[in-house]
Amino acid sequence: MHLVDIHHVSRSFGSVRALRDVNLTLSSGTIGLVGNNGAGKSTLIKVLLGLLKPDSGSGTILGCDILRSSSELRGRVGYMPEAAAMVPMLKGVEFVAFAGDLYGMPHRDARRRAHEVLNYVGLGELRYRRLEEYSAGNLQRLNLAAALVHDPHLLLLDEPTNGLDPAGRIAMLQLLEDLIAETGKSVILCTHLLGDVERICQQIVVLNQGTVVRAGTMDEMRSQVSNRYELTWSGPCEPYRAALAAAGATFADLHDHGQSKVMVSILDGFSTARFFELAHQSQAVLTELRPDEENLERLFFRVTEEAATATAT
Amino acid sequence: MDIDQARYHGWQGRLQSPWTSCIAIVRVALVQVLRNKAYWLLLALGALRFVAFWSIIYAVTQLALPEDVGEGLLKRFGFSANSDATQDNGYITFIDGQNVIVMILLAFCGSLLVGGDFRTKTLPFYLSRRIDKRHYIVGKLLAVSAIVSLLTVVPALLLFLEYGMFASSTSYWIDNWRIPVSVLAFGAVICIVNSILLVTISAYLQRIVPITITWATMFLLLGRLSAYVARETQVEYWRLLDPWRDMRLVGRLTFGTFRNDTEHELAWWSLGILTTLCAMSLAALVHRVRAVDVVE
């Protein structure tokens, strides 16, 4: 059974198309949902939770239909909203127990479980404080505890490190890493902080303008760039660039590396020895030839730019 | 197993119906109100009025007061020692008086109980659990109703119990069985109208000052205005614009006691107006909960 399996999901708000024909099949694990602001991440999360009905399309999460079984679905999913929830006058343990009550747990179980998860997220000492007295970082932990209280199969975390200082962010990421390692729970992490995804997630979904532009494991993503090389040479610049272009190489650099250092994509069957031949013919001396080791940030910029180019053409 | 052991433990229980979550919403709302010391003054005022009525009934039934003194005391508080059509007015008087305190309390509670959920984006916290907007709305309406009932219906029923308990036999309870039924019906009207209006106003206005101003306008200014217009035009129907008076008239309808025929005639109109008002408010509330805080 797939963790997420949705087909042709679209959702608009007035004239704004937040999601456009989204098809997504994800297996269990930790998944990063990344995209720029307004890419449709939060809308997709809400569709996955059954909070928003898509205008068209269908799908299942953990085997539950997103159109018909939203209550059952939310019983199996823990959601941590972007804005930390605040119920004034409640103490931490009461807040988490209240979340359990809202999931439909028997109150006694919810109360007991609230103590357990608060200890787990490191708020055991603070559990009898009122919510108004919690720091931003601790409020995020509290909301994570509220998402965990009913022991869900899947955690949907919407910007969990949003608004945290660097120390708080690192602590939250460490907590999530420990949680994933210890429980093996599936996590969908929705964020625009690529470092968070790179650190935690095994799979990644890149959204751009309501469309899934890439989805797969991190390794798969990186393997897609095996035909990219970073070249550095000395000698005349333009002849070598022209020779490379004539040989079918495309300049795929996203950043300005200067005139004698470029990133090129080559066609299948293009031997790396050709780089040296072309350099020799252009009277350039190739000083460095390095396969591209693309980090997530560059991957993200590349795929969003490719998507934008494809849309424009 | 030691719960302080900071390791993750699973949970194997079964989830109940989402409707049971409404009870949790009511419980949390009561905790929120009772923990706010500023509201204690109003709760104490309500308790004081209850004690005053309790004492009068006790004094008249248990102390050897001269008959005319006892009768005077009862009449002063709206009761009558003689069994006639106005005998149950004491309960109306009590609930009416308590309703003033309830109105003030609700004006200040709206932001805490409902407005804050919208203002601080806490609504997704509720709706992302197993409950949906139906459970949320019903839970909040029940929460406000619980606060209203604690100050009106529950003490009124206690007074009825006390009156019968201190009477020489159980005949008071048997002969006046309509009173608790009427108290419950009047209480239901107050709870339904107040809760729907308060939750709707709070969902839209969110902050304490606009909620209080709107609440006061609706229940005080509108009352004064409608009374003025009715007096100037000599048309009593203008008084129907006063929702508080409408609630009172419907309350009298449940007790079956009216001060005059005009009130009796207007009571049914009042019921119609309140029903319409509540239906419109409920529709606006359903729209509000769906449209704003889930879809951002």
What mean pLDDT do residues B245-273 have? 85
B131-150, pLDDT tens digit by residue? 989 999 999 999 999 999 99
Point out the least confidently predicted range of A37-51, A179-193, B98-112, B282-296: B282-296
Q: How far apart are CA A154 and CA A189, in angstroms?
A: 11
The pLDDT of residue B293: 45
DSSP class of B130: S
Which of B112, B121, B130 lies closest to A75 in CB terms? B130
Which of B8, B10, B32 lies closest to A88 in CB terms? B32
In chain B, % of residues over pLDDT 70:
91
B167-195, pLDDT tens digit by residue? 767 788 888 888 888 889 999 999 999 99
What mean pLDDT do residues A120-149 have? 92
Q: Which two tokens stand for residue A304?
A: 């969003």
* Residue partners of B40: CB distance under 8 A and separation at least 6: none
Residue type, A219: D
The pLDDT of residue B167: 75
Q: Does B239 score more than 60 pLDDT?
A: yes
What mean pLDDT do residues A195-202 have? 87
What mean pLDDT do residues A48-67 have? 89
Q: Do B21 and A101 touch (CB under 8 A)?
A: yes
DSSP class of B1: -
A2-17, pLDDT tens digit by residue? 889 999 999 988 888 8
Q: Do A183 and B8 touch (CB under 8 A)?
A: yes
Crossing angle (nearest 10°) for helices B243-255 and B178-205: 160
Task: Check CB contact of B22 with chain A, cutoff 8 Å.
Answer: no
Classified as helix, coil or strand, B120 is coil
Q: Does B291 score more than 70 pLDDT?
A: no
Residue A249's Cβ-count burial label (10 Å; 0-12, 13-18, 19+) is buried
Within 8 A of B6 by CB-CB distance, chain A residues are 119-120, 122, 124
The pLDDT of residue B79: 65
Q: Does A122 score more than 80 pLDDT?
A: yes
Most confident of A88-92, A190-194, A221-225: A88-92
Which conformational region is residue A89 in: left (phi greater than 0), alpha (psi within -120 to 50 degrees), or beta? left
In chain B, % of residues over pLDDT 90:
50
| B212 — pLDDT class (breaks 50, 70, 90) | very high
Q: How far apart are CA A291 and CA A303, in angstroms?
A: 18
In B266-295, the residues whose Cβ lies within 8 Å of chain A are 294-295
| B292 — pLDDT class (breaks 50, 70, 90) | very low
If one compares A117 and A2, the residue with the highest pLDDT of the two is A117
| Chain centroid, CA A103 distance in Å | 26
Q: Does A286 score more than 90 pLDDT?
A: no
ipTM over 0.90: no
Q: Do A104 and B130 touch (CB under 8 A)?
A: yes
| CA torsion through residues B251, B96, B192, B26, sign | negative
Q: Does A56 score more than 90 pLDDT?
A: yes
The pLDDT of residue A224: 64
The pLDDT of residue B6: 66
| B86 — pLDDT class (breaks 50, 70, 90) | very low
Q: What is the average pLDDT score of chain B?
A: 86
The pLDDT of residue A129: 95
DSSP class of B18: G
Question: CA-based Rg of chain A, rounded to a whole angstrom?
Answer: 24
Point out the least confidently predicted range of A37-46, A102-111, A249-258, B277-286: A249-258
DSSP B179-197: HHHHHHHHHHHHHHHHHHH
Task: Check CB contact of B1 with chain A, cutoff 8 Å.
Answer: no
What mean pLDDT do residues B32-57 have? 91
In chain A, % of residues over pLDDT 90:
32
If one compares B77 and B17, the residue with the highest pLDDT of the two is B17
Q: Do A105 and B15 touch (CB under 8 A)?
A: yes
Q: Do A150 and B11 touch (CB under 8 A)?
A: yes
Task: Check CB contact of A174 with chain B, cutoff 8 Å.
Answer: no
Q: How far apart are CA A203 and CA A31, in angstroms?
A: 5
Residues in chain B: 296
